[in-house]
Structure 1
Amino acid sequence: MGVYRYLLNIAYIGKQFRGAQRQVKRGTTRVDDPSTIQGRIEIALNKLNPINDPIVYMSSRTDSGVHALNSTCHVDLYRENGMIYDPCSVTICLNKYFGKEDVPIRILRTRIVPESFNSRHNAISRTYLYRLMIAKANKLNVAPNLNYIPIEELNRCLFICTDTLDLNIMNEGARVLEGYHDYRTFMSKHSGHEEKITRKTIEYIKILQMPHPGYSIYSWPLVAEPEFNEYIFIDVYIKSSGFLYKQVRRTVASLVALAQGKITIRDIKLMLEVPSLHSWCPQIKTLPAHGLYLCEVEYAREDLDTFWEV
């Protein structure tokens, strides 16, 4: 019986899912879990009719509502005739299922990897993106707390309506947060994480001001929304070998609070120098999941010693 391990590069919109990792525990009989990314992929893999129960192993356990532009997972598939599944066929079959079921998951690429490969443990870095959409309150002529956002950006980024956002001080805060630190303060409280190693290295934090893509709907005369050039899009990229529970969302939240003048550089330094959940500044509110995207999971070239791919 041939045993082959497949590495899948996947993308998904996380709004309708309870997270990446399966929530329904397996018992003596198989229980499907369509509410998670892992569960949905396992259901799709059964359309290939493997003789084993395909168990997907996710490289990253993204929370409920978090999206992915390019994440990974691996799975072992056994075929009755002992032959391999053509990676191209796996990609096509799974995407056909997701399209038919209107499930916002797509397989970007399928590769066969060594049997010892593990999508989570072999990862050497992960890069996340948090998208911010900023509107000037005085230009919109609305209250700063108005929940006003173009429909095509709904649940795709965090909308902030404000007249105060200092990108220079935001970049200064990012430089402070980079490097090797104990990030316990930036880890949200979670059962079972008390003994977790909280010293990590953030390789970089890049803050990029992006132009609005200029959707054609804004030229439609009946649309009463403001011109798209009134918005500022800010993309915050963070790369590290690994992250703590909600670390990215709390890190970006700290930078946003800094840019709005709610905290100071000294507050960020103190949260690093005194690593404790009690050091968290109460002026900072953890950002919601819908602005967060997993962009890339990186592996060493020698670990991807593939012999069949698309």
Structure 2
Amino acid sequence: MRNIKLIIEYDGTNYFGWQKQPNQATIQETLEDSIKKVTKEDVNIIGSGRTDRGVHARGQVANFFTDSRIPSEKFKDAINANLPKDIAISHSEEVDSAFHSRYSAKGKEYRYLIYNRRVPSPLLRNLAYHVPQKLDFNIMRKSATDIVGTHDFRSFMASGSSVEDTTRTVYSVQLDKNYELIEFRINGNGFLYNMVRIVVGTLVDIGMGKICSSSIPEIILSRERKNAGHTAPPHGLYLERVLY
């Protein structure tokens, strides 16, 4: 069988996340239904990881196996013709049978958008986290650098995760501001459940003066979720790319 790799972009607003769930619209099931219309096969599409309800993606990666003889680069257009407007395949190619979108991944990059203005934006209501309180951007940017490195990030993991090894390496973080829009980027070898959203929530709390700007190293060492900030909402989060 052929192994087809896809790069997928989607607006997660109308979906209950990536993973299939009974009686709920999900990205995975929508893609599988669309692929079946093209290949006439029941396929199991493997994602690089789950995204939660409301989370978006510009570079989600998935793969599936098929007996179809459609040229690999043509899968993109054929599947897109059967997808709703809020999901699109940006690239398709045939890869080695050993490729696994999740287990072959070396890391990921996420982006998070914060809209910092007193009045909410109707245009960004599903695409960015609205924070009406004034944020100290310079303090946030300085504090963000304390995330970089190899640490036990248990303090930044939501409850309910069964992961035992909570050590991860963050390669880089970047915080930029364009008028009222703040963009946070983080690149690492892997992320714990809700880790990026908790990091962002902690930086927002620092920007509002609720948490001391120098406290991130102490929060990491404490390994206690209660010492970190709030969990930022899902709709500001984007999976930008998966590293292989």
Short-chain TM bin: over 0.9
**Which residue pairs with 2:169 in the alignment?**
201
Q: Deviations over 1:11-56 (max 9, x none)?
A: 00001111111224xxxxxxxx761111111000011234x42100
Letter of the aligned partner of 2:126 in structure 1?
N
CA contact (8 A) 1:71 1:294 kept: yes
Q: Which residue of 2 aligns with 1:215?
A: none
Which residue of structure 1 aligns with residue 132 of structure 2? 161
Taking the aligned partners of 2:44 and 2:227, their CA distance within structure 1 comes to 38
Match of 2:74 in 1: 89
* Percent of aligned pairs sharing the same letter: 29
Of 8, 13, 20, the match for 1:10: 8
Report deviation, 1:106: 0.2
Find the aligned partners of 2:93 and 2:24 in 1 and give their Cα distance: 24
Secondary structure class of the residue paired with 1:238: strand
Indicate the residue corresponding to 1:285 in structure 2.
230
Aligned-partner Cα distance in 2 for 1:64–1:103: 17
Partner of 2:34: 44
Q: Provide the rounded CA distance (Å) in 2 between the counterparts of 1:172 and 1:49.
A: 51
Q: Which has the larger radius of gyration?
A: 1
Shift of 1:103: 4.3
SS of aligned partner of 2:106: strand
Does the alignment pair 1:107 with 2:89?
A: yes
Partner SS for 1:265? coil
Which runs of 5 or more structure 2 residues have no equivalent in the other structure? none
- Indicate the RMSD between aligned Cα atoms, in angstroms: 1.6
CA distance in 2, matches of 1:269, 1:298: 27
Letter in 2 for 1:151: P
In structure 2, the residue matched to 1:176 is 146
**Matching residue of 1:127:** 109
Structure 1 counterpart of 2:121, from 146, 150, 162: 150
Q: Is the 8 A contact 2:143 2:214 kept in 1?
A: no
Does residue 1:274 correspond to 2:222, yes or no? yes
- Counterparts of 1:160 and 1:175, CA distance in 2: 22
Which one-letter code corresponds to 2:227 in the other structure?
W
The one-letter code matched in structure 2 to 1:267 is S
For residue 286 of structure 1, report the CA deviation from its aligned partner. Answer: 0.9
Offset, 1:166: 1.4
Size of the aligned set, in residue pairs, is: 244
Cα displacement string for residues 101-128 of structure 1 (whole angstroms, at most 9, x for unaligned residues): x341000000100000001111112000
TM-score normalized with structure 2 length: 0.95
Q: Counterparts of 1:72 and 1:269 in 2: how far apart (Å)?
A: 33
Q: What does residue 28 of structure 1 align with?
A: none
- Are the aligned partners of 1:34 and 1:40 in contact in 2 as well (CA < 8 Å)? no
Counterpart-to-counterpart distance in 2, 1:72 and 1:292: 16
CA distance in 2, matches of 1:234, 1:55: 37
Letter in 1 for 2:233: P
Q: Which amino acid aligns with 1:280?
A: N
8 Å Cα contact 2:16/2:24 also seen in 1: no
Q: Is the 8 A contact 2:80 2:88 kept in 1?
A: yes
- 1:190 counterpart = 2:160: yes
Q: Secondary structure at the match of 1:62?
A: coil
- Provide the residue aligned with 2:211 in structure 1: 263
Q: What SS does the aligned partner of 1:9 have?
A: strand
